[in-house]
Structure 1
Amino acid sequence: MKGLFRENAGEAIVGLLVVVLAGLFILFAWKHTGGGSYAGGYKVNALFPNASGVSVGTDVRVSGLKVGSVTGQKLDPQSFQVSVTLALDPSVKLPADSSASITSEGLLGSTFVSLTPGGSETLLKSGDTITDTQGAMDLMALIGQFINKPAAPTEGAADKAP
């Protein structure tokens, strides 16, 4: 057995290196897709009427800075709204009356959850629910309304009708 290892030592070391790099890649992917929520962080829920474009791993931002990620979503059977679970960085203390909205970085940008801090002295704690929310805008519906809207009549059109 020792002779076999001595003959293939270079291959064994390269194989070990590949396994270690694969493990580091998996750890990186786990942390950046919402699988590994912030250590010591707190989780809050937000109820949205429309959560299009939001999935597990979506960024949560305050003033454009990432402070957490989406770790889960489910349909609330009583209100038929989407309950989105947000894992937030423990160093970010948000007021209890904060609001949440689903927005994007631009016309073709990625979607994220934007939190706007309120003015309350009471802070959000783990398990709280944000109810002041604004869901995602349906861009295709807005474009369809614009394209399909009837043409406005011109001023002289009513006078010329027989």
Structure 2
Amino acid sequence: MKGRSLAEVLAGAVVLVVAVVFLAYAANNSGKSLGTSSGINLRARFDRIDGLANGSDVRIAGVRVGSVTAERIDPRTFLAEVTMRIDSGLNLPDDSSAEITSESLLGGKYIALVPGGSDKLLKDGGEITITQSAVSLESLLGKFIFSVTQMNSNHSDDDQGNGTPAPAPARP
């Protein structure tokens, strides 16, 4: 340590400590677990899961209660089967529903669970049978633009008429 001053060594140590603290904070607040967490696995089948990915949130009333752990296509029905892990402390009725929802116009997707009213509860490995698939924003915009275009073309056809002039307004 002949060429190093005490100030340089302390500055390096401070930088390392700050980096470790930042890394620990980021890992703790990322929502990802490093090991196996307690929870139950549930499945749900959807027509479309556009924008949903492994690690996407599962929420009840806007509160994160789990995450998506796997996605696959059922080879028999060609539906997208999503596996999710939710907190084991939640006792979801077996008539609960799952809906794929957007966080915002530009944001990602998550699964919103709506608890049902049944006395029977979903068990580990159970399936949520009432589902609503993702709505494609592009498809909705396309339909809206098409309908506006059709409405405008019908309106312009009405304005052109059949070549006969419109009757003059009656004079009092």
Q: TM-score, normalised by structure 1?
A: 0.77
Alpha-carbon distance in structure 2 between the residues aligned to 1:67 and 1:37: 17
SS in 2 for 1:77: coil
Match of 1:28 in 2: 28
What is the CA–CA distance in structure 2 between the aligned matches of 1:92 and 1:128, rounded to whole Å? 14
| Long gaps (5+) in structure 2 | 1-5, 164-172
TM-score, scaled relative to structure 2: 0.73
Q: Residues 47 and 84 of structure 1 are in contact (CA less than 8 Å); yes or no, is this contact kept in structure 2?
A: yes
Partner of 2:45 in structure 1?
Answer: 47
Structure 2 CA distance, aligned partners of 1:15 and 1:105? 36
Query: Which has the greater radius of gyration?
Result: 2
- Equivalent AA in structure 2 for residue 146 of structure 1: F
- Name the aligned partner's letter for residue 76 of structure 1: D
Query: What SS does structure 1 have at the residue aligned with 2:51?
Result: coil
User: What is the Cα-based RMSD across aligned positions, in Å?
Assistant: 3.1
Between the two proteins, the alignment pairs up a number of residues equal to 156
Identity over aligned pairs, percent = 37
- Give per-residue Cα distances to partners, 1:17-45, cap 9 Å, x unaligned: 4784476257437x61x454772211101
Compared with structure 1, are the counterparts of its residues 138 and 160 closer, same or farther at alpha carbon in structure 2 (3 Å cutoff)?
same
- 37-46 vs 51-60, greater mean Cα deviation: 37-46
Q: How many angstroms does 1:132 deviate by?
A: 1.0
Flag structure 1 segments of 5+ consecutive residues without an equivalent: 1-6
Which position in structure 2 is the counterpart of 1:68? Answer: 66
Q: Tell me what 2:158 maps to.
A: 157
1:94 maps to a residue whose letter is: L
Q: 1:33-86: per-residue Cα shift (whole Å, max 9, x none)?
A: x45477221110111110011111111111111111111111111111111111
Structure 1 counterpart SS, 2:154: coil
Distance in structure 1 (CA, Å) of the matches to 2:77 and 2:99: 18
* Contact 2:60–2:112 (CA under 8 A) maintained in structure 1: yes
What is residue 122 of structure 2 aligned with on the other side? 124
SS of corresponding position for 1:87: strand
Residues 15, 147 of structure 1: CA spacing in aligned structure 2 closer, same or farther, 3 A cutoff? closer
Q: Distance in 2 between matches of 1:107 and 1:15?
A: 39
Is 1:77 matched up with 2:75? yes
Secondary structure class of the residue paired with 1:141: helix
